[in-house]
A and B are shown apart, each in its own frame.
Chain A
Amino acid sequence: MLRYTVRRLLQLVLVVVALSLLLFAWLRSLPGGPVSALLGERATPALRAQLTAELGLDQPIFVQYFKFLGRALSGDFGVSTGVQPGDSAMEIFLQRFPATLELSVLAILIAVAVGIPLGYLAARRRGGVLDNLSVVGSLIGVAVPVFFLAFVLKQVFAVELGWFPTTGRQEGGLDATRVTGFFVLDGLITREWDAAWDAVKHLILPAIALSSIPFSVIFRITRASVLDVLDEDFVRTAESKGLTTPVIRRRHVLRNAMLPVVTTIGLQTGALLAGAVLTEKVFAFPGIGQALAIGFERRDYPVLLLLILCAAGVFVLVNLAVDLSYAVIDPRIRSGSGGGR
């Protein structure tokens, strides 16, 4: 188990390094560039050349890459040219990562908390009203663009009804104390309850929008997986013992049905990042997604590179966690090939 984890972590390093090379080359092949973005199209050639040299973009690409690698090893990923010009890429990451993490965790929690019970109930009452309604609902959830859903939620619940704030992470006037960068957590730690509640209110609409796809996928996988497990002989054995429904549900059905669902949750972290770009844009939510969107518009190479690498790293780590939790759920995997018949 330990060896496996270590091997996977080494793989992670390789993936990140390889990805950095690809990204590095790909970003520089995009039309336009930070110089045009900063100076506009009408700047004098002399000015352009000067800025290009300042940013080190006049050097051959592999020289740039090795310089980048060298500095990256000491934690220096360069200075932002577009998102928050002048700030270091690392600073931007540290500021914005907690925001997106908070948002994503809430979105996944919503998706899991609604998707798994609903998937179980739909499977139990297959073909019933609840089943049909939620299957249709989940189809809509996948089909409606996140961007559109976010926009509608904002219009209805923030602009028209005024139940939630329209943008941002926190009301400016609150002047909350910062500890970890996770605003909800900060509010709880410092006992500034109104600040915590305000942060939650800012999160709810974007989190609902962001959860639509993971919810739909988790619901559908849970439903299919529970349907499979309900047909298993061991469920009939459990029934033959006269066990109560809650015990059968928890111990015998859900535990076995969770394996594919856990995988899905891992894979959904990738979709989450894509969704975050759009959701954060609609709600002007200052997270990684928003930074990526702005970074692309303004060709902010250092910020884009760091954020995408970190996103990839998180994705790999989450899926490692998924594989490890597999072993916790399924003893056949835990004992490896040593078990068997």
Chain B
Amino acid sequence: MALLEVRDLKVEFRRRGEEPVRAVDGVSFDVQPGQTVGLVGESGCGKSVTALTIMGLLPKRGPHVSGSARFDATELLSLSDRQMRDRRGRDLGMVFQDPLSSLNPVVPIGLQVTEVLERHRGMSRRQATVEAADLLDKVGIPDPRRRLDEYPHQLSGGMRQRALIAIALACRPRLLIADEPTTALDVTIQAQILALLANLVRDTETALIMITHDLGVVAGLCDEVNVLYAGRVVERAKRHDLFAIPRHPYTHGLLSSIPRLDAPRGDRLSPITGSVADNIPWTTGCAFAPRCPNALDVCVEVTPEMTDDVGVPDNRSLRCHNPVERAKRDGEALV
């Protein structure tokens, strides 16, 4: 059975005097125990809102949530605030985008680690301090004992993100959600943090939802990838299959906009034209149609359903009337 089952999750922000915003528009995906699943898509497609909904961290007022998110057979969306608080940090951990602003500037690093151990693992401050030093050591922070007494501003960006990973994994959650954990970091540090995450989730058999707008991040890490567009999953495949044969024109566009070392010289990157602002609502057709090079008349008339893709031999789901044929990627080396 899946560890996490998200079904038809919808989140709408309603504010008085404003148009409601459909941030998430029927997302479904599964995460198996120990599996690393990618959620990929342009900024604004609803990745963070999906993550925050699963974690029960949406603002109290404003959002309307429907659908289901079952964790280990428990419906998370119907848990009380108190029950959710017991699970967060213990069963579900989360790492955020900006490590500097995600740490409390006036509380020592040590306390920011020990407080979660005291809360969920019933440790005394003394036991927790020993454990915290051990955790910092495991995430590759040198001289962890000294670091315990330091404050976030005394650490480098990479060290801060390592500390946040240590905090998120402190109580050995079964699911970790990482929301663009490397976006705010220097390029050289990004790879280190990704490698660290990959090692940690493998060693501890933690399931990971890796949220990113960058397919390059997915390439090294994920078992399965969900491509999101305008609040819905448009394509789901194993990582290798997706990179080998992107079927949705949006996925294809995302892949073509990654610089490739093995691309023939003179071959231009082909970013997706248009922007999210061109979306049409999913109710009146395919939201991507206005930007889609493959769009047919049917695309703006009939909303495509998520179906098993029979056009390829692998096990994949697709939401598209006119997927990209393999031939279209002629001349491009496969990953």
Contact = CB atoms under 8 A, between A and B. Distances in A.
Is A bound to B?
yes
Q: Per DSSP, are chain A's interface residues mostly helix, strand or loop, or mixed?
A: helix
Interface in B237-292: none
A243 interface: yes
Chain A interface residue number, banded: 20 to 34
B174 to A, nearest CB: 14
A237 B96 CA distance: 8
A237 B57 CA distance: 10
A255 B164 CA distance: 20
A332 B151 CA distance: 8
Contact of B88 (A239, A252, A255, A330): A239
Interface in B163-216: 164, 167-168
Interface residues of B, number: 34
Interface string B94-135: 101010011111111001000110011000000000000000
A29 interface: no
Contacts of A243: 85, 89, 115-116, 119
Given A236-B96, A251-B104, A330-B105, A244 B85 contact: yes
B91 to A, nearest CB: 9
B104 A234 contact: yes
B46 interface: no
- Between A241, A255, A335, the greatest number of chain B beta carbons within 10 A of the residue's beta carbon is seen for A241
B87 interface: yes
A14 interface: no
A94 interface: no
Given A233-B96, A237-B96, A242 B85 contact: yes
A234 B88 contact: no
- Between A236, A237, A240, A243, the greatest number of chain B beta carbons within 10 A of the residue's beta carbon is seen for A240
B10 interface: no
21 contacts: A233-B101, A236-B57, A237-B102, A237-B164, A239-B88, A240-B57, A241-B116, A242-B88, A242-B119, A242-B120, A243-B115, A244-B119, A251-B111, A252-B104, A256-B105, A256-B106, A332-B153, A335-B154, A339-B154, A341-B153, A341-B157
Minimum-distance CB pairs A-B, first 4: A242-B89, A242-B88, A241-B89, A233-B101
Interface of B: 55, 57, 84-90, 93-94, 96, 98, 101-108, 111, 115-116, 119-120, 151, 153-154, 156-157, 164, 167-168
Interface of A: 232-234, 236-244, 247, 251-252, 255-256, 329-332, 335, 339-341
Given A242-B87, A242-B90, 11 more contacts: A237-B104, A240-B93, A240-B94, A240-B96, A252-B104, A255-B107, A331-B106, A331-B151, A339-B151, A341-B156, A341-B157
